[in-house]
Amino acid sequence: MPRHVHVIGAGLAGLSAAIALTQTGCTVTLVEAGPAAGGRCRSYFDRELGLRVDNGNHLLLSGNRATFAYLDTIGARDTLAMPAEPQFPFIDMENGVRWTLRPNLGRIPWWVLSSKRRAPGTRPSDHLALLRLRRLNGEVTIARSLRHDNFYRRLVSPVAIAALNTPLDVASVPLFGSVMAETLFRGGRACIPAVPREGLSESLIDPAVAWLQAHGCEVIFGRRVAGLRYGNDRVIGLETTEGPMPVEAAVLAVPPWAAADLVPDVTSPNEFQAILNIHFRIDVAREPPGFIGIVGGTAEWVFVKRDHLSVTISAANRMVDLDAEAIATSVWPDVRTAFRLEGRMPPWRVVKERRATFAATAAQEKLRPGPRTDLPNLVLAGDWTATGLPATIEGAIRSGRAAAEVLLAT
């Protein structure tokens, strides 16, 4: 078992690995290229808007067990806002119909029998289609495996596109099945939505960095690892922008494109999907936080923050090259309708995460490696490793723990 481990990358996977290693008594040095931790899940001050914003809206579900265990460790569970029961408000832009999806808390899904709890225009029997998905293999796409009816349009599409960040005509059924298995199929108690009260960094990132520092971990920002040094079939050092660093063992917790540069033998996903977030500075005079799902619009989800409304569009490769103003203008009418607002479009900011996640397709799934590499003292972590989940916070946190366990077992 190594005594000192270098963790490369302070996204959620790296933070989770660093915490797991620290908990077992290892000394950990966390090396991050950026000026702050968080990677694809972070908050920052946007000068143009004059607001602190998240790089993108993130939704957690109470069934994300590793994430809640992580939050408990870093003492940040209370920084999330969660209703007592699952509630997913929606509006259909084609006809203005509003509804709230309300699965019951227990395991027996009697909510599908209640027209007040399920999406309008759907039948209880439609929901059985989700169970059938479990029997399909990875080559079948979600779009091909279900009838394109109201159930597909008003429940499957918004949920699956958000969970997989992939167009449903190419998205892998098993990855959606694993999300369902850990949430909806476990009953409403596992699908209570949770969002940060303040921001992503305040909930998921800053308390983790503080926990690590309080437990003796050295956290270094602004140091990019540009190469690995090898000797005797092991990794023996890091080439960094600030000079070489000798290492005893390392966790590589960088995005797949960075891992492929550093360890060319590793296979990794190489197709990505963008996510667009459009922040509108507006005093919504509503109790934040909250969100609404939009069916049949350009916006897909709108999150309510204290001082802004924030739109998410997933699987957004089709839109990512559009001019920012064109994007903001195209989603504003959906926001105005959903929140019954009047007046002109307020100050806005479009954030384009071009490689937000790998594309959750059958072909990409085959490229996801486990935590082990050919070297006994180098392991991999990241939402793109073979977690069995799509690229999510839950997957990233699990991957960090898995990498730490493999390293500790050597």
Ligand X SMILES: Cc1cc2nc3c(=O)[nH]c(=O)nc-3n(C[C@H](O)[C@H](O)[C@H](O)COP(=O)(O)OP(=O)(O)OC[C@H]3O[C@@H](n4cnc5c(N)ncnc54)[C@H](O)[C@@H]3O)c2cc1C
Name the residues that contact ligand X, by CB under 6 A. Answer: 8-14, 31-34, 39-41, 55-56, 58-59, 224-225, 253-255, 258, 275, 277, 353, 356-357, 382-383, 391-394, 396
CB nearer ligand X, residue 150 or residue 224 = 224
| Shortest Å, Cβ 64 to ligand X | 7
Dihedral of CA 206/207/208/212: which sign?
Answer: positive
10 Å CB burial of residue 348 (0-12, 13-18, 19+) is buried
| Shortest Å, Cβ 263 to ligand X | 11
CB nearer ligand X, residue 112 or residue 403 = 403
| Shortest Å, Cβ 165 to ligand X | 7
| DSSP code at position 156 | I
CA-based nearest residue to 375, from 331, 410, 323, 329: 410
42: which 2 tokens? 């972070």
The residues, ordered by sequence, that sit 6+ positions from 135 with a Cβ below 8 Å of its Cβ are none
Determine the Cα–Cα distance for residues 216 and 31; give it in Å rounded to an integer: 14
CB nearer ligand X, residue 11 or residue 187 = 11
CB nearer ligand X, residue 52 or residue 224 = 224
Determine the Cα–Cα distance for residues 282 and 298; give it in Å rounded to an integer: 20
CB nearer ligand X, residue 67 or residue 122 = 67
| Shortest Å, Cβ 280 to ligand X | 16
Contact criterion met (CB below 8 Å) for 193 and 59 = yes
| Shortest Å, Cβ 279 to ligand X | 12
CB nearer ligand X, residue 74 or residue 112 = 74
Contact criterion met (CB below 8 Å) for 142 and 337 = no
| Shortest Å, Cβ 58 to ligand X | 4
